[in-house]
Amino acid sequence: MSKAKLRTVNLSKRYKSGKAEVWALREVNLEIKKGEFLVIIGPSGAGKSTLLHLLGALDSPSSGKVFLDKLNISQISASQRAEIRRKKVGFVFQFYHLLPEFTALENVMLPTRVAGCRLRLARGKAKKLLEKLGLENRANHRPSELSGGEQQRVAIARALINEPEILLCDEPTGNLDSQTGERIVSILEGLNKEGRTLVIVSHEQKIAQRAGRLLKMEDGGIL
């Protein structure tokens, strides 16, 4: 029996647009252990984001399987996938993906409200997370009133609100200066030390150096 938190078996993803066909992933076999800190690097178009999306049930593969614990999340319905994302996975993206019309606090609360958490409890949890990330004074700011690093910290708080076991980050520092990026990586590292499984896709040498394990991708495969 595998003790992996996430495991892929011959995982492939093909995109078709018109007559053109792209194999974004080709038969990837990968095991990620519980509590691991994995960094994935590789050139543009290598399939890094595609892999991350499949690991987090954001998308489904063309063939092959993804297991989260013992559950095969590659063959479940869209609504089951949404539930897995809500309960088990936190995503952090390069461009934060915050909702512009909501405040920092409201952005952080949103996933837990969607999951059915009551307003007062959700607000309390969100406030605590903003505090943990040093943003207690920015709770009522909208994203346009926040710096890039602050927006990314809001996005991390949002990713944490449903207490996921797994954090998947796609170029989380790609849009930040190096000092701010450093701070974000330290935060993510801390979250890994608290026991969360952490996967970061990154181009940055500094992040790669801090990984528990480094994985290189090229042309839809792992080298």
Ligand X SMILES: Nc1ncnc2c1ncn2[C@@H]1O[C@H](COP(=O)(O)OP(=O)(O)OP(=O)(O)O)[C@@H](O)[C@H]1O
In the complex, which residues of this chain contact Mg ion (CB under 5 A)? 49
We find the least distance from the C-beta atom of residue 50 to ligand X, in angstroms, to be 3
The one among 50, 74, 197, 202 contacting ligand X by CB under 6 A? 50
As measured in angstroms, the least distance from the Cβ of 64 to ligand X is 15
Name which position in 5, 7, 48, 196 contacts ligand X (CB under 6 A): 48
Residue 14 burial (10 A CB sphere; 0-12, 13-18, 19+) = middle
What size, in residues, is the chain? 223
Q: Look at residues 91, 54, 89, 90 and name the one whose alpha carbon lies nearest to residue 75.
A: 54
| Nearer Cβ to Mg ion (49/173) | 49
12 contributes a contact to ligand X by CB under 6 A: no
The single residue among 24, 133, 167, 198 that binds ligand X, judged by CB under 6 A, is: 24
Pick the closer one to ligand X by CB: 25 or 188. 25
Q: Which is nearer to ligand X, 36 or 170 (CB)?
A: 170
Interface with ligand X (CB under 6 A), residue from 9, 30, 35, 45: 45
Question: Closest residue to Mg ion, Cβ-based?
Answer: 49
Q: How far is the CB of 193 from ligand X (least distance, A)?
A: 27
Q: Does 174 bind ligand X (CB under 6 A)?
A: no
* φ/ψ (deg, to 5) at 3: -100, 15
Tokens of 139: 């709770």
Spatial separation of the C-alpha atoms in residues 56 and 46, rounded to whole Å? 18
CB of 137 to Mg ion, least distance (A): 33
Binding site for ligand X (CB under 6 A): 15, 17, 22, 24, 42, 44-50
